[in-house]
Amino acid sequence: MVSPLVSRPAFTAPNAALPETQTAASRTGIELRARRYEVLQIASRHGRASVARHFETAFGLDLPPLGQRFASGSRAVLCVSPGKWLAMEADPGAPRLDELGRALAGKAAMTCQSDALAFIEVSGPTIEAFMEKCAAIDLHPEKFPTGSATATLVALMRCYLSRLDDAPTFELAVARSTADSLLAHLTNAARSFGFSFTPSS
């Protein structure tokens, strides 16, 4: 059901040599970390209730409502639009997405998105100021608390944006074809803060 992750990293490390002020750990205000997931997009044919129980049994998480992201261990699921979810598994050896595909067969339309989406986490001591430069939405914790997810634009690129924790750490997902463009935008925006970039393993 779910294809293995493609071997080519989604993000290419920034080409330009970074000044010491931007690479020294003591001066890093923004941390960028590429993430890799196996991803299954799920579209319910008859509403959330028709798949929720089967999803929870097979994947171990509740189906979130629109605008929410639920996570446990290496698994996560976010609601990207009404009646549609992205189920994600960070452990490439885990069989849960295949089990989920079998559990939802005939109950939902499913598409493997493992090689279609690229994910990057963003955090750091200057994250609030940095995200104000990048995202044109209100990310104050009262408006966008931990577990929130939304579709928005970053540098005119469609992006799924989630708040992972109270640190805060944010996760951005974009079409793989725009991954390097997103990284270029983020690194340019982060230069005044100092930043580090960690490719996915």
- Output the pLDDT for position 92: 83
Give residue 11's pLDDT band: very low, low, confident or very high (50, 70, 90). Answer: low
Q: Which architecture, in CATH terms, is 38-112? A: 2-Layer Sandwich (3.30)
- Output the pLDDT for position 15: 45
CA angle (158 as vertex; 135, 4 as ends), nearest 5: 120
Least confident of 17-26, 66-75, 177-186: 17-26
Question: Which CATH number, 3.30.56.10, 3.20.20.150, 3.30.1360.120, 3.40.50.300, labels domain 20-36+115-198?
Answer: 3.30.1360.120
Asked whether the beta carbons of 148 and 129 are under 8 A apart, the reply is: no
SS3 21: helix
- Mean pLDDT over 81-98 rounds to 92
Q: Give dist(CA 27, CA 22) in Å, integer.
A: 7
- 23 has pLDDT over 50: no
Q: Give dist(CA 41, CA 45) in Å, integer.
A: 13
Sequence-distant (≥ 6) Cβ neighbours of residue 77 within 8 angstroms: 55, 59, 61, 63, 64, 69, 70, 71, 85, 86, 87, 88
Q: Is the pTM of this model over 0.85?
A: yes
Q: How far is CA 86 from CA 4, 76, 89, in A?
A: 16, 8, 10
- 164 has pLDDT over 70: yes
The domain segmentation of the chain, as residue ranges, is: 20-36+115-198, 38-112
